[in-house]
Amino acid sequence: MNRRSILWSALSALGGAFAASRASAATESPPAGRLKVVYHLSDAEKVNFVLGNIQNHIDGVGGPEHVTIALVIHGPALKPFHAEKANPDISKRVGEFAKDGVELAACGNTMKAQNVTLTDLLPGFVSAEKGGVVRLAELQSRGYLYLRP
């Protein structure tokens, strides 16, 4: 066998072993412990969709005690959460999420731009004072999985 054939055989075997290990990892159960997930919401037209995704996520894992969820909102998507303008369905969902321990973070920059404070938003919100995108990055650095439906 020449050197090129030996090298090709070795690389093929290595690639096959890697593919087999990835296939077995994909079928294993996730590690014990709670998943941490951050949902990113900036589009006002996606508010109900994202809130539905979060509820489906909580229901799908068997309840809020099995997952840690944060929702970071910035830009136009924050307006539907203004207490005076919020529809009853959004108010109800936000209240339930707050009780379930979902972090509801409003971008501090967006709050300034919209001239609102936490007291102007539905109960349960916290301020992402450094900004929504900074909060998203902080949570991801702490192991949160990023979802942008």
CATH number of domain containing 52: 3.40.1260.10
Q: What is the pLDDT of residue 2?
A: 60
Query: In this predicted model, what pLDDT tens digit does every residue of 88-125 receive, in sequence order?
Result: 999 999 999 999 999 999 999 999 999 999 999 999 99
56 has pLDDT over 70: yes
Whether 96 and 36 map to the same domain: the answer is: yes
Which pTM does this prediction carry? Answer: 0.78
Whether 83 and 118 map to the same domain: the answer is: yes
> Cα 108 to chain center, whole Å?
18
Whether 56 and 11 map to the same domain: the answer is: no
Query: In this predicted model, what pLDDT tens digit does every residue of 3-50 receive, in sequence order?
Result: 555 544 544 544 444 444 444 333 333 445 789 999 999 999 999 999
Whether 56 and 117 map to the same domain: the answer is: yes
Q: Which of these, 140, 125, 139, lies nearest to 90 by C-alpha position?
A: 125
Whether 5 and 53 map to the same domain: the answer is: no
Q: What is the pLDDT of residue 1?
A: 55
Task: Report the number of secondary-structure helices (H) and strands (E) in the chain.
Answer: 5, 5
Bridge partners of 146, per DSSP, are 38
Nearest 5°: phi and psi at 3?
-60, -40
DSSP H stretches of helix in the chain: 3-27, 47-60, 88-100, 108-113, 132-141
- As for how many domains the chain has, the answer is 2
Greater confidence, 24 or 72? 72
Contact 31, 57 (CB under 8 A): no
Range of the domain at 53: 31-147
Whether 13 and 36 map to the same domain: the answer is: no
Whether 102 and 138 map to the same domain: the answer is: yes
Mean pLDDT of 134-148: 97
